[in-house]
Amino acid sequence: MPNLSQSFGYQTVPPDERERRIRQVFDLVAPRYDLMNDMMSFGIHRLWKRAMVRAARPQAGEVIVDLAGGTGDVARLLAGEGRRVAVCDPSEEMMAVGRRRTSGSGITFIEGTAEAMPFADASIDMVSVAFGLRNATNLEAGLAEILRVLKPGGRFICLEFSRPWALIRPFYDAYSFAVIPRLGAWIARQPAAYGYLVESIRRFPDQREMAALMEQTGFAGVGWRNYSAGIACLHRGIRPPS
């Protein structure tokens, strides 16, 4: 199995350089990012995201931040009923795609990272993130920043690839490392970028590890729900009311 993180330089460069390289990955794939997601997941990612929004239960009048939501696909599902929705993403190219696709929807696009969001303390009702938190250069710092911007009682919901059931794991690994980079070469014309994205999935904590990190950060009501035999997982937590 190739060690793509070493070829990407993820483990051998300082955090600011990692952040620059990750941003470059998404700038490169932005025009075909959603198409690639459809191809890689056979369209199932759209069902997962709809289930995520149903579980999030956005309410009228809420202020919601969709972190790493560049193309706006989740933000469009969250918008409506007087809600104020902002996409916060480090890639200007991804957000440019999102602005075109959400024109007239009232969704705001703001540049920022998981580790440094440009929002005041305790100002956000809900932070959502779909398949983006694994790209944080410092996951613990990203979780702490999410907790900072949430209001007391505010909700955090995170949809991310996770550890699938043992029965399907060998087939999933073979598909991830053999097929996805080739799809990246064919459709997005960026095989190296999609090699990095596959490796980032492998580095992300599994279901129990992620729940433990959230609890250590200070989230309450932590839990998760598997989708598609654990290929994806919906993590949730709240900022304690007091």
pLDDT by residue (tens digit) across 135-165? 888 999 999 999 999 999 999 999 998 999 8
| DSSP tally for the chain: helices H, then strands E | 11, 7
Rounded to a whole number of angstroms, the CA Rg of the chain reads 17
Q: What is the pLDDT of residues 4-53, one digit of tens each?
A: 233 334 445 456 666 666 666 666 666 667 777 777 777 899 999 999 99
Output the pLDDT for position 105: 86
Give dist(CA 91, CA 99) in Å, integer: 12
Q: Which residue has the higher pLDDT, 55 or 182?
A: 55
Cβ–Cβ under 8 Å, residues 207 and 200: no
What are the extents of the domains in the chain?
A: 4-238
Helix H or strand E segment including 13: none
Give dist(CA 52, CA 56) in Å, integer: 6
Looking at domain 4-238, its CATH class is: alpha beta
Give dist(CA 111, CA 109) in Å, integer: 7
Q: Per-residue pLDDT for 179 more than 80?
A: no
Q: Which residue has the higher pLDDT, 181 or 136?
A: 136
Average pLDDT rounded to a whole number, residues 218-236: 96
In the chain, pLDDT over 90 holds for what percent of residues? 54
Give dist(CA 139, CA 160) in Å, integer: 13
How many residues can be counted in the chain? 242
